[in-house]
A and B are shown apart, each in its own frame.
Chain A
Amino acid sequence: MSNPPSDCLSHTGSKEQSDVLMNQYIEDYLDHLCAPLLGIVPYVQRYRLRSEAQDHLLSLIEAFRDEGATPAEATALAVREYGEPYQIGQGWAEAWVETVERDSCRVRVATPLTLRAFGWFGIFTVVNFLLIERQLFWTHRDDLFPLTQLVCALSPLLAGMATGANCHPRATASICRAVLLLALCSAGISCQFLPKWDGLWFALIQCVFWLPAGCLCAGLTAFLCRQFRIQRYRAQTC
């Protein structure tokens, strides 16, 4: 863990200004600590974890200052003692996922991430649906076929990237639930508005291709985004 920003160390203002800068640094640390929890842990639990971490850090800072450290030194020692924010947050997220998956009675179907995945995959489902309708009913069958194929192939990748941009890499269960639900809806709606086999074929593609491709893309995007945030945080605090 790196030291607080150099402007804190070199700041020669009043004690109050120094304390404000230290508090800002701690709040920034806590933001990065809780980042891996977004979309995984409900807000109430996240707030509780953040409050506990803040109290723990402030206690550590007080202890180090009692030993004679300056505010900047005490803060640096405290965050080093507490741990790398993304690693600690990752540990919390994994503990939460383990306890939720273990207790089947408390599995939440509509987590925030499930809703986000449902939204993004739903948008691309509607787009594909409209293309299929247009191809079947409004234009010659062969005109839009290559475009429909391309859009159908790219849709899970784009939806996965949009879903994974701000979620935990291991939270693919939420994406699976969303895509399976969409496939069921597609099958039901298709049978009403499309020739039966085209609609069912699209639903089958969603289950066989969209599901693994979407989950893989979302997980990869989440991993890369997390690595980017970690590197940016380290660069800011060096």
Chain B
Amino acid sequence: MTNESDLLRGNTPTLILAVLAETPRHGYAIAQEINRQTDGSLKFKQGTLYAVLHKLECDGLVRGEWQHEDGERPRLVYAITQSGRETLTERVEAWNRFSRAMDRMIGSIVPGDAPIGESMGEMSEQPA
């Protein structure tokens, strides 16, 4: 669980950029879209998105703009910038390289098998 939290924390900016690359959204819509596209498999507190959005905005990767519509509450809608699209592309490429490398390394391990340490111990005890 801790590993998943760390993975999610490090990749939340990428998730947000990916959602905003489709269309501009406000914070609630970003959270709902992430939940929808991941089938709720990523557990996170929705309030944590805004700290990440602030950093992305300071880095110039997204831009926030207040929108006032009749009958609706004023909402801050975020849109990805050109710099954000380039950064998203770089991060997607980096993630693909990383996941391919991890698959090559641990892809043969099936969940439910004996822990890695035990299986390697058995291997070391086998005669040469």
From B51, B58, B73, A58 is in contact (CB under 8 Å) with B73
Size class of the B contact interface (CB-based, 8 Å): 10 to 19
Contact A52 B55 (CB under 8 A): no
Q: Give the number of residues in A that approach B within 8 Å (Cβ atoms).
A: 25
The residues in B between 41 and 73 inclusive whose CB is less than 8 angstroms from any CB of A are 45-48, 50-52, 54-55, 58, 73
B47 to chain A, nearest CB (A): 4
Given A94-B51, A96-B54, A81 and B26 touching (CB < 8 A)? no
A contact residues around B98 at 8 Å (CB): none
B95 within 8 A of A: no
Contact A52 B76 (CB under 8 A): yes
Contact A60 B55 (CB under 8 A): no
The residues in B between 12 and 32 inclusive whose CB is less than 8 angstroms from any CB of A are 26-28, 31
How many A-B residue pairs have C-beta atoms within 8 angstroms? Tell me: 61
Contact A99 B28 (CB under 8 A): no
A54 — nearest CB in chain B belongs to which residue?
Answer: B73
Contact A83 B28 (CB under 8 A): no
Contact A99 B54 (CB under 8 A): yes
Contact B55 A98 (CB under 8 A): yes
Given A60-B28, A83-B45, A52 and B74 touching (CB < 8 A)? no
B contact residues around A49 at 8 Å (CB): 50, 54
A159 to chain B, nearest CB (A): 31
B75 within 8 A of A: yes
From B54, B55, B76, A51 is in contact (CB under 8 Å) with B76
Question: A58 to B48, alpha carbons, bound, how many Å?
Answer: 17
Question: A96 to B58, alpha carbons, bound, how many Å?
Answer: 10
For the complex of A and B, 6 pairs with smallest distance between CB atoms? A83-B45, A88-B47, A95-B51, A83-B47, A59-B28, A99-B58
- Pairs across A and B, CB under 8 Å, 11 listed: A33-B47, A49-B50, A51-B74, A52-B27, A82-B46, A87-B45, A91-B47, A92-B50, A95-B55, A99-B55, A103-B58
Measured CB to CB, the residues of B under 8 A from A are 26-28, 31, 45-48, 50-52, 54-55, 58, 73-76
